[in-house]
Structure 1
Amino acid sequence: MKQTYNTPGPISVFVELGSGQLTTVAADTTEASVEVRGPRAEEFHVEFNGKRIDVIAPHGRFFGRGDSHDVRVHVPTGSELVTKMGSADTTTTGTLGLLALKTGSGDIEVDRAEGPVVIESGSGDIKGQQFGAEVRIKSGSGDIDVREVFGKTGISTGSGDVVLGTVHAATVIKTGSGDLQVNRSEGDVSLTTASGDLTIGAAPRGKVTAKNVSGDVRVGIPTGTPVWTDINTVTGNVKNNLTSVGKPAKDQDYVELRASTVSGDVLLKQV
């Protein structure tokens, strides 16, 4: 089953799917299309009101195992996507606007989003290339990997590793168990886990807070950056390889670092 609509500008899309795969492609186009493949494709509710496309699976089997369906949506660049998924996977290609993705147990892979991003996942891995605005992610279990975020970031997960590439604004990450890593932080960053390593590859400025119970803490500071430190470990060691540069000059970037761990080492290194 396939439907095509005239869409001269960005639109909104809502998809409700139990099991299977949702693929959303954003491109410079004046048409939007929805294609559903699977044993009950003809029973899907697909409707366009001029501003929003609704794609809703048959409700009789939404919360059961049901039949697996492949849903493919093509939309103009900058369109919004809202989903309610059971165990279906979600993949996007191109640049979308706002994203509000909710899944019970499916993987999520996002290319680019220029609007706010909200993701709620019971279990499943989450991947993203570039998010241009505020990001909020809440996951029960699963790994999270996002390459670049320009807005404020808040991530909370029960268990799973979190890796962020470059973050340009304030970032807060919390997990019950798992390693947390930020390759480069351009703003304030706070990492908290009960069990796992905490790593910040490079922190050229801002407030850096790293807290765990068991696991190591590693922070990289660019050469020449003044650092104020408050470091505590109960049974671990502190290794400071930084070269002292004294107090920051007027208007010079500096780092306020607070790190605490019970049974892990703390390593500060020049980068």
Structure 2
Amino acid sequence: MKTMSEEDVDLGTEDAPPARREDFEANGPIEIDIAIGTGRIEIQLVDEPGVRVEVRHAPESDDQWVPGLSGLLNWVSGQFGGGPQDNSPEETVRQTRIDLTGNRLVVRTPKPLPMRGMPLSVVVKAPSGSHVETKSGSASLAVTGSAGRVNVTSGTGDISVDRADGAASVQSASASVRLGPMLGGVRVKTGSGDLEVSSVGGPSLLFTGTGDIWLGAVQSDVTVRTGSGDVTVADAACGRIEVVTGSGELRVAVRSGVKAQVDLVSYSGRAYSELALSDTPPPGEPSLFVRGRTGSGTAVITTAVG
């Protein structure tokens, strides 16, 4: 059942783009499902009830082909007997679907071209712990606060998520990705762009074709791969860590007091340890296993700071 407490539509002015706002009742976490073509998405997860959605035209993210395509389609429709279509920002905002049914919020931009390519700003404010799923062709994403599960699919556009308590997945053709604590683990794949994750608490995979990878605290099994970039693990505590780069430096810092089994290789560079090493296994099973490979670069194992 859809519950709506308020809807506002602002047609905009020369200085302010058209906007639409809707408010819904919600007493706990919801499912957030957003799909847009281009623009930006901002999700604010807060410790208070209720859901607010604001959609507005984002001309600062405009692609130059959109106005030209709009004119072309209007010309074609006129040539074949149909009247010119209203593909204005105002109409695109008006036709954007905003719906809360049960505990699932859906935001969808119109499918017909060129509305699908109209840059929009979507801002959602919802209770903490809400699950997030977004899809976009070319849009930035920022999630603040604590999310449950996170699933992000994007063509291009920078991505940042403060925190996810459940499993998280990020896929992008080209993006800079910055993630906070991923307590349920995370899978990140991007064709190009740097990856940064402050900590992982579950099995994780980080992959970028070209870019550096920085990983903070690790307390689970992790696989890290980059075609050309440096890899840093700042605080390895436990689990099986595999780090591979085709051409870059590897640096893995082991938490103080942790027993680790280490296997580092640089095929055309230097591999060394700043820790005391022994050929004799210590009593008991080590809690950390590190395997690192670089084609051309330095590989080093060291002590975590702090």
* TM-score in same-fold range (> 0.5): yes
- Aligned to 2:164, which of 91, 96, 113? 113
Match of 2:48 among 18, 21, 29: 29
Indicate how the Cα distance of structure 1 residues 75 and 167 shifts in structure 2: closer, same or farther if over 3 A, else same: same
Q: Which residue of 2 aligns with 1:199?
A: 251
**Could you tell me whether the CA contact under 8 Å between 1:17 and 1:62 is conserved in 2?**
no
Q: Residue 8 of structure 1: CA displacement?
A: 1.1
Q: How does 1:46-125 map to 2 (within 5 A)?
A: 46-61=98-113, 66-125=117-176
Q: Verify the 8 A CA contact 2:260 2:290 in the aligned structure 1.
A: yes
What displacement does 1:60 show?
A: 1.8
SS in 1 for 2:54: strand
Return the offset for 1:47: 0.9
> Counterparts of 2:205 and 2:171 in 1: how far apart (Å)?
12
Task: State how far apart, in whole Å, the 1-side matches of 2:177 and 2:206 are.
Answer: 11
Q: 1:131 to 1:197 in 2, by over 3 A?
A: same
8 Å Cα contact 1:18/1:61 also seen in 2: no
| Structural mapping, 1:37-48, within 5 Å | 37-38=56-57, 39=89, 40-48=92-100
Segments ≥4 residues shifted beyond 2 Å: 61-64, 224-271
Select which of 5, 15, 18 maps to 2:34. 15
Partner of 1:167: 218
Give the match's secondary structure for 1:42: helix
| Structure 1: 5+ residue stretches without partners | 205-221
SS, match of residue 60 in structure 1: coil
In structure 2, the partner of 1:177 is: 228
- Kept in 1, the 8 Å contact 2:210–2:228? The answer is yes
Tell me the SS of whatever aligns to 1:195. Answer: coil
* Comparing 162-171 and 241-250, the one that deviates more: 241-250
Counterpart contact for 2:45–2:126, Cα < 8 Å:
yes
Look up the equivalent residue of 1:92 and give its one-letter code: V
1:30–1:226 CA distance, 2 compared to 1 (3 A): closer
Percent same amino acid among aligned pairs? 31
Amino acid at match of 1:4: D
Match of 1:5 in 2: 24
Q: Which moved more, 1:117-126 or 1:246-255?
A: 246-255
- In the aligned structure 2, how far is the partner of 1:24 from the partner of 1:250? 49
Deviations 1:199-234 (A, max 9, x none): 11x224xxxxxxxxxxxxxxxxx4x76665555555
Flag structure 2 segments of 5+ consecutive residues without an equivalent.
1-19, 58-88
**Relative CO higher for 1 or 2, CA cutoff 8 Å, sep ≥ 6?**
2
Pick closer, same or farther for the CA change 1:228–1:112 going to 2, 3 Å.
closer
Deviations 1:95-139 (A, max 9, x none): 011101000011111111111101110101111111110211111
Query: Do 1:16 and 1:55's aligned partners in 2 also have CA atoms closer than 8 Å?
Result: yes
Which residue identity does 1:97 align to in structure 2? G
1:69 deviates by 1.1
Aligned: 1:132 with 2:165: no
Q: Aligned partners of 2:108, 2:52: CA distance in 1, in Å?
A: 15
**Does the 8 Å contact 1:18/1:62 carry over to 2?**
no
Greater strand proportion: 1
Q: 1:264 to 1:74 in 2, by over 3 A?
A: closer
Structure number with greater Rg is 2
- The alignment's C-alpha RMSD in Å is 2.4
Checking the alignment, whether the CA contact within 8 Å between 2:249 and 2:298 is kept in structure 1 is: no
Residue 20 of structure 1 deviates from its aligned partner by 1.1
How far apart are 1:146 and its partner, in Å?
1.1
1:239–1:150 distance in 2 versus 1, CA, 3 Å: closer
CA deviations over 1:143-174 (Å, ceiling 9, x no partner): 11111111111112211111111111111011
Deviation at 1:242, TM superposition (A): 3.5
Amino acid at match of 1:130: P
Aligned to 1:209: none
